[in-house]
Amino acid sequence: MEDTQLSVAVWRPAEQWQADDKAVELRMQGYARRSRTMAIGIVVPLVLAAAMFGLHSIGLMVLFLLNAAWGLISGVRHQMRVGRWLPAARSLLSGNPSHRVAARVVAHKGNRTVLAVGPMHLRVEPVLWGTRQVIARTGEITMVGPDAEGHAVVFVDGQPMPLPAKVVEAPEPMEAEPIARVSANAAEDAVTQWFATRFARLMWAPAGILVLMLAALAFDAQQSRFSSIWIVFVGLLICAIVLTLRMTDQTRLPKLLKTGQWQAHPVTVEEWKGNVRVPAGDLTVKLGVPGGEYRLVVKQASAELVANVSATGTLWMVGQPTARKPAAVGVPGYPIVAIARFQ
Q: Of 134, 130, 133, 135, nearest to 117 (Cα)? A: 135
Whether 338 maps to a domain, the answer reads yes
Dihedral pair phi/psi, residue 241, rounded to 5°: -65, -45
What tens-digit pLDDT sequence spans the chain (343 residues)?
445 456 789 999 877 656 568 888 888 888 888 777 777 878 888 887 787 777 667 777 777 888 788 888 877 887 778 888 999 999 998 878 889 999 999 999 988 999 999 899 999 989 999 999 999 999 999 999 899 999 999 999 999 999 999 999 988 878 888 999 998 888 899 999 999 888 877 776 666 676 777 777 677 666 655 555 666 666 666 666 666 666 666 677 888 888 889 999 899 888 888 777 777 788 898 886 656 677 888 888 889 999 999 999 999 999 776 666 788 899 999 999 988 877 6
Whether 29 maps to a domain, the answer reads no
DSSP state of 275: -
Whether 51 maps to a domain, the answer reads no
What stretches of the chain show up as alpha helix (H) in DSSP?
22-37, 40-54, 58-78, 86-92, 129-138, 190-202, 205-223, 228-246, 253-256, 303-312
Dihedral pair phi/psi, residue 121, rounded to 5°: -120, 135
| Overall domain count for the chain | 1
pLDDT tens-digit readout, 51-100: 777 766 777 777 788 878 888 887 788 777 888 899 999 999 887 888 99
Whether 163 maps to a domain, the answer reads no
Expressed as residue numbers, the domain containing 266 is 252-342
C-alpha distances out from residue 334 to 128, 129, 160, 208, 262, Å: 12, 11, 13, 28, 12
The predicted pLDDT at position 52 comes to 73
The predicted pLDDT at position 164 comes to 95
- In angstroms, the CA 87 to CA 136 distance is 29
Whether 294 maps to a domain, the answer reads yes
Whether 187 maps to a domain, the answer reads no
The predicted pLDDT at position 343 comes to 65
Whether 333 maps to a domain, the answer reads yes
Q: Of 159, 142, 36, nearest to 93 (Cα)? A: 142
Whether 302 maps to a domain, the answer reads yes
